[in-house]
Amino acid sequence: MSQRVLTTESGAPVADNQNSATAGAGGPILVQDQHLLEKLARFNRERIPERVVHARGSGAYGYFEVTDDVTGFTRADFLSEVGRRTETFIRFSTVADSLGGADAVRDPRGFALKFYTNEGNYDLVGNNTPVFFIKDPVKFPDFIHSQKRDPFTGRQEPDNVWDFWANSPEATHQITWLMGDRGIPASYRHMHGFGSHTYQWTNAKGEAFFVKYHFKTNQGVRSLSAEQAAEQVGKDANSHQTDLLQAIERGVNPSWTLHVQLMPAAEAADYRFNPFDVTKVWPHADYPLQRVGRLVLDRNPDNVFAEVEQAAFSPNNFVPGIGPSPDKMLQGRLFAYADAQRYRLGINHTQLPVNAPKAATVDNYGRDGLHATRYGSRQDKNYEPNSYAGPAQTGDALASPLAVHGWTGTHEAPLHAKDDDFFQAGELYRLMSAEEKDRLVANIAGGLSQVTRDDVIEKNLAHFHAADADYGKRVEEAVRALRED
């Protein structure tokens, strides 16, 4: 094999990559050494702003295969035929810590999936839990500030974490998930994934259904105790990245079975829970899981920065037959996710290979901007409407319209029959075995007992008492015992 030639960014061959050009054998370095200056300048700019949330992540390519007929519920083309396969890219992540954080920590996991469909990219952005801490996006920046490093101490502070939760009772359900046995997955392969939000499917007849996505791991759920996780972090802070990379390299391709819950749109208004509240689930007894297909991961990225760090997901990337719901957290993310990537990666981040459509052609009037690579031909106009056969609208909405009424203003969501912040958290607690309850109580008490203000502790204890009397009693006793030690 012939030796490849090292070049500069402009393609010129590099004569010496071991020694800088100097004024004489021992003299100072010359500013004319273009290779040195270019190399250092590029090195200084290798890093881009990390994600504020979901900074630490891993990714893989694969495919989604339809196994069951769902054409009665959606006209999405990539779901239109049993056996149909669509290329995918997934990014798993932790939420609160920075890019240099460890994998095996108690934190929700991002589960962001990009389908490269022939009608454009469809992004499904969720977590490994079916619920979330808050229900309104106006609280999201405050929530994240409370969970990340304190601006003065530079550490994650229990006072901040639990103070926000004390004043946000809707977080009780997600806290019960997070502090339970599934709070620290053993690997990305051994956890479920959820769309978390409520979305809309529309069929060919124009009939609308609200939908929730459930990706069930075919490897089985495996989790770590707090002690096991601490040991794992000490051995390999990149444990989940290592596991995913090595499994796929060995040909042990992880997979998930996708199920959905489907609610006819007309049933939403009178459902006993607000179906658009991301702090709540739809009980399976009301809306059973229906199988759709399977997700298989079979290829690792060639370059983690280019394909995982630069991967950009936005829940407003829909395809015909799939659309949003009135879920307020989803509505906020329709803007915030895309805007985060415009800041991190630039306005043309959608032209990067990992983000660009693979089975569809982009044809619009977007031009120019930093790092633009798509210009069109010299005959193409950059405005619409025009008389030059440029791309034109279809007139076909992606999803069914949603009826709206009432006065503008800042409103609390209307209450449904069973809407409160504690009922489902109590239901989850009562489903747990005695051993699971023991570990949940210990995990909560371990964090809450570190809080320095008594009133913050009392507010949180009141939430657990409201969810279930035994739940609250046991957490209160455990906190008291730890604080007396």
Query: Which residues share a beta bridge with 127?
Result: 110, 194
User: With contact defined as beta carbons under 8 Å apart, do 416 and 271 qualify?
Assistant: yes
Distance in angstroms (rounded) separating the CA atoms of residues 304 and 241: 11
User: With contact defined as beta carbons under 8 Å apart, do 54 and 182 qualify?
Assistant: no
Query: Which residues share a beta bridge with 261?
Result: 212
Nearest to 224 by CA among 210, 212, 211, 236: 236
State yes or no: is 54 an active-site residue: yes
User: With contact defined as beta carbons under 8 Å apart, do 297 and 248 qualify?
Assistant: yes
Alpha-helical (H) ranges within 13-124 are: 34-44
- Separation in Å, CA 459 to CA 172, 280, 422, 475: 11, 21, 13, 12
Q: What is the largest CA-CA distance in the chain?
A: 85
State the virtual CA torsion across 447, 442, 167, 164 in degrees, nearest 10: 30
- Rounded to 5 degrees, φ, ψ at 22 are -130, 165
State yes or no: is 127 an active-site residue: yes
Half-sphere exposure of 120 (CA within 13 A, CB side): 16
- Separation in Å, CA 360 to CA 87, 107, 173, 250, 367: 12, 36, 40, 32, 19
- Separation in Å, CA 263 to CA 187, 205, 324, 329: 32, 16, 14, 19
Nearest to 483 by CA among 461, 451, 441, 444: 451
Half-sphere exposure of 147 (CA within 13 A, CB side): 21
Q: Measured on CA atoms in the order 171, 177, 178, 180, is the torsion positive or negative?
A: positive
- Give the active site residue among 35, 118, 121, 127: 127
Q: Give, to the nearest 10 degrees, the angle between helix 434-448 and helix 454-467.
A: 160
- Give the active site residue among 35, 54, 173, 416: 54
- Distance from the first to the final alpha carbon of the chain: 69
Residues forming the active site: 54, 127
